Amino acid sequence: MTRNNALISAICYFSVFFAPLILPIAAYFITDDQETKKHALRSLISHIIPFISVVILAAGAISGTIIFNDSGYLAFMSIFGGFIFFGIISLIIVIWNVVQGIKMLTQA
């Protein structure tokens, strides 16, 4: 992998902070290097995971409110648990992207 391709791959991972979907998609379609395309796709998938967890959070909040309608405490705990789940998933994704981006920079 050339220095430029490793830098593009690193930027795809670090884009979790400033353009989570745009840069990996652009890098995937612009570059010809298969290794860079692989890293762009991996970073794109890792940027989509928090959106999926938001859908799960919303479904949990709605179902928690419906199921525990009589008990406000249980409904609150259901929603609070969803937020904790989202926070943990988001933190793991950010750490993973930073580690992968640093790996790409060390290869450059």
The three-state (H, E, C) secondary structure of the chain, written as one string: CCHHHHHHHHHHHHHHHCCCCHHHHHHHHHCCCHHHHHHHHHHHHHHHHHHHHHHHHHHHHHHHHHHCCCCHHHHHHHHHHHHHHHHHHHHHHHHHHHHHHHHHHHHC
Domain encompassing residue 93: 3-107
Rounded CA-CA distance 5/35 in Å is 8
Q: How many domains does the chain have?
A: 1
What average pLDDT score do residues 29-53 get? 92
What pLDDT shows up at residue 6?
A: 92
What pLDDT shows up at residue 70?
A: 66
What average pLDDT score do residues 68-79 get? 72
* Predicted structure pTM score: 0.82
